[in-house]
Structures are given as C-alpha cells and as structure tokens.
Structure 1
Amino acid sequence: MVKAVVAGASGGIGQPLSLLLKLSPYVDELALYDVVGSPGVAADLSHISTKATVTGYLPADDGLKAAFTGADIIVIPAGIPRKPGMTRDDLFNINAGIIRDLITGVALYAPSAFVLVISNPVNSTVPIAAEVLKKHGVFDPTKLFGVTTLDIVRSETFTASVAGKPDPSVFKIPVIGGHSGDTIVPLLSLSEPKVEISGTDRDALVHRIQFGGDEVVQAKEGKGSATLSMAHAGFRFAESILKAVAGESGIVENTFVYLPGVPGGDAVKESAAGLDYFSVPVELGPSGAVKAINILPQVSEYEKGLLEVAYTGLAANIKKGVDFIVGAPEAK
C-alpha cells in the first residue's frame, strides 16, 4: 500500500498533479493538503474510477498531521507566485516560510517519506528542507529531491523542434546545475540521439531552455506561470520514484540533491566547484537515491563556460536557503 501526499494540492500545480497521481496505478491512498480548498479537490477526484482513495485536509483539526502520517511520498508544490509590487526577496521569504513549516511536518509525522520539492526557488528551498530535517535529526539525503524535471521536459521539446523531430520523447538530454535561469545547464553535447546544433541556433536553444518559464508568464499576460507543464514534470519524477519503490531497476532521473549524502556525490561535488547541492542524473532504487552519476568530465568547452556562470549563482542560492534556517527560530 502506497500513500502519496500533495502539499499545496489546491493550487495551479497541485490540482493537475493530484489528478495525475489519482490516475497512477502505483498509488493506493492520496492525501491532499492545503490551507484552502483541499477537501473540495479531494471530493472531485474521488469520483474518478481508479483504485486510489482520496482525502482532503486543511490546517484545522491537526490536518497536517493527518495528511502526512503514514506517507510514503510527499510532493510539495506549495507556495505563491510573484505578485505585482512584490520583490523577489518578499517572494522568497513567504515561500521559504511555507517550506520550513511543511518540512517541519515531514520531520514530525513522516520522517521516512520520500520528499519531492517543487516549490520555487528550488535552489534554495531544498537546502531549507535539508536544514529543517537536520535540526530534527531525521535528514536522509537519499530521500530528499529537488524536482528539476521541467528543465528536462523543455529540453526534449525545444530540441526536437529545432532538430525537426516530431516526437520529443525520443530525446534524452541531461540538464544539470540548478533550476532557475542561468543555473540551468542543458548538455546538448550529450544528447541521445545525437544532435548537431551550433552557433546562434545553439545559443538560442540553450537560452530558451533556461528561461522557458518566461514564455508561459508572457503568454498568460502576467496572470500565471507554468502550472500544467510543471504538474506533468512533477508527476513524471514522482512516478519514477514509485516505480523504483515497486522494484523496477535502471531508473535514472536528473534531480537536485545534497551531494555529500548520496553515493557518488563526492565526485560530483569535486567537479562542481565544491557545491553541496547540484542537479545531476541520479539512479533511483527502493530506498531512494542509489548513486549520483558524475557526467561533468564529459561536457564540452561551451558547456564548461555555462557551468562557470551556474556555479556562482548556485552558491548564492544555496547559501540563502541555508541561512534562512541556520540560527532562525523554530517554526510555530
């Protein structure tokens, strides 16, 4: 019996993500948590004729405890989008506080669950999650993942468009580093099947992969961001975890992890300017991250230049997340 939880289930990402998990044959129980609306989302989904039972919880009446207790996998898309007049620091402080409080719930009620962090900025929210779990003495780096799968999805889609291929799913393109702007480094040189894209076409493709989210914000006229594609990407990663738990072998996904705590992570850290967190291909198994795969020595000279920029941005993002928790008061 597998219990999955979506924390932030009523939002633009949370609702379609919950729908996809309800449809998954790997999920037996689906718990939806949010500050508003989750019982209604649960009631709606419960009418779908798949095996997963669905229950919605609100903060009242120990809803967080009820939702998280017994969870095998907790996916967290909770947070707010940036609103007019709001600075990036304002947005960070609100979402960082939301993650801190939810991860405190993980530590108290589901310390052995797989935790998949979607909430932005992932480069900072994953370190926040790790520090909270460390404070409670329950941090297992092999079970904490920053979901960067949307960068993979975009790299497949956009590369297929440039290469004139009708089916993006034929491509396998590693995207490493972080999950924002120029911390995102698509390794087109390692694409399978091989593609030959160079010069301004390559520059434009890399930029589109790095800043693809801006296209959605502009198309929604500033009234939203990537929600449906992010829900798909989040489910894609979650299902890979569920498949690995079910015993399927050979599953590898790119994900943002705490390198010192994952087998193979030390080699990646040494190659990645000593950063503690980095997104690389990670082999998944029944217990979580089995091995971080160091592909950094294989990158092209062009990609080395992209990585130098990414290292600087990532170092600042990671520090911001750690500093938010270290020395801060406990969540109420």
Structure 2
Amino acid sequence: MATHYLDFEKPIADLEAKIAELSALSESAGSFDAEIAGLRRKADQLRRKTYAGLDPWMKTQVARHPQRPHFVDYVQGLFTDWNELHGDRQFGDDQAILGGLARFRGRPVVVMGHEKGHDTDTRLRHNFGMARPEGYRKAVRLMDMAEQFGLPVLTFVDTAGAYPGLGAEERGQAEAIARSTERGLTLGVPSIATITGEGGSGGAIAIAAASRVLMLEHSIYSVISPEGAAGILWRDGARARDAAMAMKITGPDLIQLKIVDRLIDEPVGGAHTERAAAIATVGDVLAEELKTFDGLTPQQIRKARADRFYAIGALA
C-alpha cells in the first residue's frame, strides 16, 4: 500500500522520495548507503519534531487518515473466536456498526465499533462509518446480551457522525441514538470505549457512554465536526481550521475537561505508520483497564459510571 502523506507532511514526503530515488540508483550506479542513512535520520528527526507539535487541525487530519487502523483491524489484532452478530430485529443490518461476541486474551466479551472501510467498495458498504438507526438498535441488542450474560463491553469509536439521510430520520435516528446512549449509561457490566479516530457528535457518544473512555493520542472527540462548526459560526466551511483550534477536541483538553479518562500513545507519525504496534498498545491498555473492574458489583459499576459523567463540566 502506497503511503498517503498529509499536507503538513510534505517535507517528510520529499525526503522519503529522495531516499527511494537513491535506493533505486544504488542498484545500478553503486552504493549510496551513507547518503541514504543520513536522509533517513533527517526524515526521522523531522517526523518526530512535526508530530510533537501538532495543532488541533493537524490532529484532525491524522484522525481521518485513510490508512489508520479501523474496527476490523482491531478485531483481527486483539480478539479471538470472533462471532459477528447481525441485525436489529426490526428493520435490517447496518454495516457502519459491527459487533458480536469474541474473546479478549481468553476472556469472553461483547465488542462493537464503527467501521469506515478501506477502499471504495468497503467504504460504500459501511457507509463511511456513519450509522443509521439500525446500527444503534443493534448496539442496544448487543448491550442487552452483555448484561444478560455478564460480559464486559468494549467499543471502538471512529465516525464523523450518525448518518443524516432522509430514511434514517424517518426510521427514528435521534431516538435510536438516545436509546443506545441510555443503555450504555445503565449497564451493570464494565464498559470501555476507545476513540480510535474521529469521535463525532451523537453518532460517537451512542456507543461511548462507557465506564471508561480512552482515546488514541492523535484522535479527536467533538460535539460537531470542525467543518460543521465553521458553517454554523461563520457560514464558511473553509474556516474549519479556525473552528478546530477553538473547540478543544484533542486529548489534553478532553482529559482536563474530564470527558476522556486516558490517552493511549501512538507510534511516531501516527497509528497508521505502525499499525500492529498501535493495535498491540491499545490491547495492553484495555487489559489494564478491565482489571480495575474485578470484584465490583453491578451496582458499584453503575454508580462509578454515573459519577464519571456527572463530573463532566462540574465547577470546582
């Protein structure tokens, strides 16, 4: 897969293009090992410097990177005995939210998440991760099952928002999102949500009303997209960067506001640069977080979750 460079990564792309050019010349015109090694060091230093200083708009671009790991990648990398469950038992099977039963390091769990797809065909099939009401009603069905059998719920959030189409609205999009949010808040089993890319509006919170909310270092979590906010505030979607800079949508701000509980480090250059390492890190953090629920009763789990959400926005 060819590397996709973001706009602010152009200097890095230029260096890596020179490395590729010299590597090709080495095969026919002698060795350029010293020059290549120097360029690689320079590219690595530039990447580290760039990613140490990302602003919220840059992080938004990284969160949306097309090569970033998606839900199916986390399922393949972290879970065994994956058994996908389909349908909401009312209308159909939404493919923007996938979910089912699996084992996480030997422990049975319910797992679900947004899937965006990785090419034209899969993006269309999964509706770019924008769920219809059927997806949220499927999420409620899975959470009900988790409660019935005492299984932890692990969710992976990556969506620009719920699908705003006419059919979705006719079938009760707002009600389905509200029901899914409510079910997440009332679960008597541990629930951990991980924001892996975009956490957009109610489409994200519907499966992120969890006991613990984790977030990858270069992900974003917001009530509306920067483009949407710019359209409302200035009637100009081109001012999305201005909106992103003002909205407090990145990890450090969200930790301070008590909206997110923990940040998960990504490889230098983002999760898409070392996908297996990024997924393994998420797995290690999930294992640590699950241990904190050992021995808790359903009542204690519900109370701790309620206390967590009541603390958001509380004045000191």
Shorter-chain TM-score range: 0.3 to 0.5
TM-score normalised by L of structure 2: 0.33
